Structure 1
Amino acid sequence: MAAQLQPIVQDEKSTKTYEEKTELDHVKPGILENADYTGAEAKTDPAEIALVRKIDWRLMPTLCIMYFLNYVDRNAIAQARLNNLEKDLGMSGVQFNIAVSVLFVGYVLMQIPSNMLITRIKPGIYMSSWMLIWAVVSGCTALVQNFGGLVACRFFLGVTEAQFYPGATYMLSIFYTRKEVATRIALLYCAQILATGFSGLIAAGIFAGMDGLNGIAGWRWLFILEGAVTALVAILGLFLLPNTPLTTSWLKPEERELAHARMERDRVGDSSEPVSSMEGLRQACKDKRTWLFCLMQNFHLSACSFNSFFPTVVKTLGFNRTITLVLTCPPFILAGAAGILTGWSSGRMHERTWHITIGLLVAILGFVIAASTLNTAGRYVACFIFPMGAYSVNSVIIGWAASTLSQTKEKKAVVLAMTNCAGQVGYIYGAYLWPDYDEPRYGIGFGASAAFALCSIGCAWVIRVMLIKENRKLRASTTEHVNLYGY
């Protein structure tokens, strides 16, 4: 009875309630690991609950809209292909594949330097400024007259877009605890998934209503209008995005202190002193776990290389251009819902490996079905299955990397960039797995995607075994409360 009546008791090492302490004293070691390892206890303080809700309503909508436009601008080339882009620019052979892949060359080159810099400047202003620049580059794609001009615009679009996603995940990791961040990254990633789906609807509307307007092709209007909207949101982002918990203008002074204190409490490891950007890079490169996360994300995004070719795959169902573009949307709505559910479940259950495994096994099933049949109904069902499985696990992978390798903010920023950078490399060579001569079955692309997904599962289990061993060492090193690694 006394345990039930006791208020929250806090000391320097723990924020557990008296009841939680009493229960944990009698838990077996194996279960205790799973209870402790997320590092973030259940929130019981009304002030903290209100703070997290306030951050959710202020930060998440802004980041999600910005990331939505990030992918709308990037994916516009996939829809433009269905509106005579290649014919108007005199393209042939693998030139479209080159135009798709070159964006990720610029993307990969800029991500790590960008996130090394983001810890030294105001991330909100930094990300919004780059968004304004990529909006201009995206809009300029409407002016290209040949293949060379398209390649140049795509390369610089990659350079200017590279700052956003690793920067956004870094921002989430400094405002949300390890238990909270997976769900928020899932919401952010859902914006990307929905952008991939709704891009088709946006393009269908523009092509139907503006193709040939004022003598301008529909695909050119697509780049003009999407670039203009992106520029407007970028300007708003300069005023809406926060920078750090201690400097957020829309938080009260006591809320800023609480936001900062709870993130310090959530840290794994003892390194809280700031280090140089180069030291953060050294720490990330020296940690073998970094490279395993990079490899896992590379395999995962290689399996997602169908992204820029999804409208082309749906076109094999035999419908006209407008219906094809409309049909690309529903699979990604389902994938977005699956991504949110997976991220929420992973955070609530404090589990990563099985979520990744199940999600990617579902993707493999979809890839196999898609490669095995040309039946219209069967192939379209597969078009729901493989995006749902493949896209559902990204937030889990990124959140896992952020929480495992967050000993210093500089290291965490570099790790997030390295992980995403390694993943984007998969899009560079993945673009060549979908050649025209392999249509309509696209067995090369679907087969390779299934193999990549299986390899990503293997990496997740290697990391799990490694973290279990490290947790045992951490628990053996002290009798006090300690934050353990999640797996």
Structure 2
Amino acid sequence: MATSKNALEHVPSDGISDGPMDAKGVPYSRRDYAGAQAKTDPLEIKLVRKLDMRIMPVLWLMYFFNYVDRGALAQARLNDLEQDLGMAGNDFNVAVSVLTVGYVLMQVPSNMLLTRVRPSIYLAVVMFIWSVISACTGLASSYGSLIACRFLLGFFEAPFYPGALYLLAIFYTRKEVASRMAILYTAQMAGLSFANLIAAGVFAGLDGRRGLSGWGWLFILEGTASAVVALGASWLLPDTNETTRWLSDKERAIGKSRMQRDQLVGAQEHEPIWYALKSALRDRRLWLFCAIQNFHYAGLSFINFLPTVIKGLGFTDTIALLLTCPPYIFACIASLLLAWSSGRFHERTWHITAALSIAIIGFVAAASTLNVAGRYVACFIFPAGAYSVNSVIVGWTATTLSQSPEKKAVALAVTNVSGQVAQIYGAYLWPGSDGPRYVIGFSASAAFSLLSLLTSWVMRFVLMRENRRMQQSIGGDGKVNSYAY
């Protein structure tokens, strides 16, 4: 390999040369095509293991209840929610989408604030508030009170998800972040899956107790459990590499140093938040990621309707809830495998292409038949394909638009808002009148997944061109930190 005139030769204690090094002392031989490096320092490996043990469990539990609380509405529908509150027509679809309205309004301001406060306290407080609102939903006595609770639930749930992504993005390198985001996403799928088991048990054992319906007990119990988790989260969540109280001074230094080595060209430690917002909104790549996310989330619009789709095959409410669990468990496994592979090879587009192609096949198969076995098998295929790309897309966004922590926070919030907007109109793609086949919903999900796939390839070509420009501007034969695609 040709050696840059500024490269240094690194000879470790074993006498075997690692070859030329960059200006930061990292051998080029340890970097991949985008300049990302593998961990070799035992102290760094130990630190990452500690971060995993402290950060991932608490974020996982918080995200689990984030989805349990918001997803309870889908299970409540199978326990006479609509009849009890006098709902008709598209009232349920409105109740689904109004949560997203509150969600969208709060996300960007919240992540802008997150860079100026202690994340550990902020995220724990908003979780406690949404838990109380979720529990109060169980006491709703009219359609109007349900809508109010759903809007406020979305408003106070909004800070958590982009905030959790931001925490992962500031503690983990580009090669590490996708697999951690995949682990976080398993909480979402576990929430969707086990919430159905919880609901089945609550409906069977508590329906009518103390004059309260089963769906009312469901909201109250899940909200209470969520509040307990929130109380513990403030002690366990981190803040930053420099300020987290359960890191030693040496660990803080290592954490800061490794994230600095992983920074892209032109990155800076901090910038004014309003400048970061302006910079992000002017970045054309942000809007491409917004399109990828919006199309992808539109393809995920089946989330609130999968129990209803399965019930349409002739099953009872309880059986439908139980049968909704295995597809999400299968999707968890697929998500972890895809994220591991994406991180291992530091590649995004081909992984997204493979997963969304599988999802499209599943959507088409589900729309094509009402055969019980055939459609139920399809209900394994499309969630596995659609859900597994979540961590890859978000990790790609976080590591591409990361010129400063503030820009990273804004970019994650804006792209997630674009995805959540799809949930507003996506709720109307599954009208009850289209059941039990739901051709409109499945066809739309397939089309939106295809659009997300194609937009990912547009992003790939944009980043390839920018990488060539960066390499040419620096000169030499060494690898520079650049964009993964």
Q: TM-score, normalised by structure 2?
A: 0.95
**Aligned-residue CA RMSD (Å):** 1.5
CA–CA distance in 2 between the matches of 1:444 and 1:125?
A: 43
Q: Which residue does 1:486 correspond to in 2?
A: 484
Partner of residue 13 from structure 1, selected from 9, 23, 39? 23
Offset at residue 36 of structure 1 (A): 3.5
Could you list the runs of 4 or more consecutive aligned residues of structure 1 that deviate by over 4 angstroms after TM superposition?
7-12
Q: Contact 2:327–2:379 (CA<8 Å) still a contact in 1? A: yes
Q: Contact 1:15–1:41 (CA<8 Å) still a contact in 2? A: no
Q: Which residue does 2:8 correspond to in 1?
A: none
Offset at residue 271 of structure 1 (A): 3.2
Partner of residue 36 from structure 1, selected from 33, 57, 72? 33
Encode CA deviations 1:436-481: one digit per residue, 9 max, x unaligned.
1100100000000000000000110000000000000011111254
CA–CA distance in 1 between the matches of 2:20 and 2:78?
A: 61
Amino acid at match of 1:5: G
3-state SS in 2 of match to 1:247: coil
3-state SS in 2 of match to 1:245: coil
Q: Contact 1:8–1:16 (CA<8 Å) still a contact in 2? A: no
CA–CA distance in 1 between the matches of 2:18 and 2:218?
A: 56
Offset at residue 47 of structure 1 (A): 0.4
Q: Which residue does 1:134 correspond to in 2?
A: 130
Amino acid at match of 1:131: M
Partner of residue 417 from structure 1, selected from 413, 416, 430? 413
Offset at residue 269 of structure 1 (A): 2.2
CA–CA distance in 1 between the matches of 2:121 and 2:33?
A: 36
Q: Which residue does 1:87 correspond to in 2?
A: 83
Unaligned 5+ segments in structure 1 are: 25-31
Amino acid at match of 2:33: D
- Which range moves more in the overlay, 267-276 or 248-257? 267-276
Q: TM-score, normalised by structure 1?
A: 0.95
Q: Contact 1:136–1:227 (CA<8 Å) still a contact in 2? A: yes
Are 1:49 and 2:49 counterparts? no
Q: Which residue does 1:145 correspond to in 2?
A: 141
Amino acid at match of 2:217: W
3-state SS in 1 of match to 2:138: helix
Percentage of identical aligned residues: 58
CA–CA distance in 2 between the matches of 1:254 and 1:125?
A: 24
Amino acid at match of 2:82: E
Q: Contact 1:9–1:16 (CA<8 Å) still a contact in 2? A: no
Offset at residue 9 of structure 1 (A): 8.9
Encode CA deviations 1:17-72: one digit per residue, 9 max, x unaligned.
5xx64xx8xxxxxxx8xx230x4311111000111011001000000010000000
Partner of residue 293 from structure 1, selected from 289, 301, 311? 289
Offset at residue 16 of structure 1 (A): 3.5
Amino acid at match of 1:425: V
Map residues 441-456 of structure 1 onto 2, 5 A cutoff. Answer: 441-456=437-452
Amino acid at match of 1:409: P
Unaligned 5+ segments in structure 2 are: 1-10
Q: Which residue does 2:389 correspond to in 1?
A: 393
Q: Contact 2:136–2:220 (CA<8 Å) still a contact in 1? A: yes
Q: Contact 1:311–1:325 (CA<8 Å) still a contact in 2? A: yes
3-state SS in 1 of match to 2:436: coil
Q: Which residue does 1:363 correspond to in 2?
A: 359
Offset at residue 11 of structure 1 (A): 6.6
Are 1:114 and 2:106 counterparts? no
Q: Contact 1:13–1:481 (CA<8 Å) still a contact in 2? A: no
Q: Contact 2:176–2:343 (CA<8 Å) still a contact in 1? A: yes
Map residues 277-316 of structure 1 onto 2, 5 A cutoff. Answer: 277-316=273-312
Map residues 11-410 of structure 1 onto 2, 5 A cutoff. Answer: 13-17=23-27, 21=29, 35-37=32-34, 39-410=35-406
Amino acid at match of 1:13: A
Encode CA deviations 1:141-166: one digit per residue, 9 max, x unaligned.
01111111111110010000000010
- Which range moves more in the overlay, 2-11 or 197-206? 2-11
Offset at residue 270 of structure 1 (A): 2.4
Amino acid at match of 1:64: W
Say if 1:227 and 1:188 are closer, same or farther in 2 by CA, change over 3 A: same
CA–CA distance in 2 between the matches of 1:307 and 1:278?
A: 35
Offset at residue 264 of structure 1 (A): 1.1
Say if 1:434 and 1:235 are closer, same or farther in 2 by CA, change over 3 A: same
Offset at residue 14 of structure 1 (A): 3.7
3-state SS in 2 of match to 1:231: helix
Offset at residue 248 of structure 1 (A): 1.3
Map residues 453-468 of structure 1 onto 2, 5 A cutoff. Answer: 453-468=449-464
CA–CA distance in 2 between the matches of 1:178 and 1:187?
A: 15
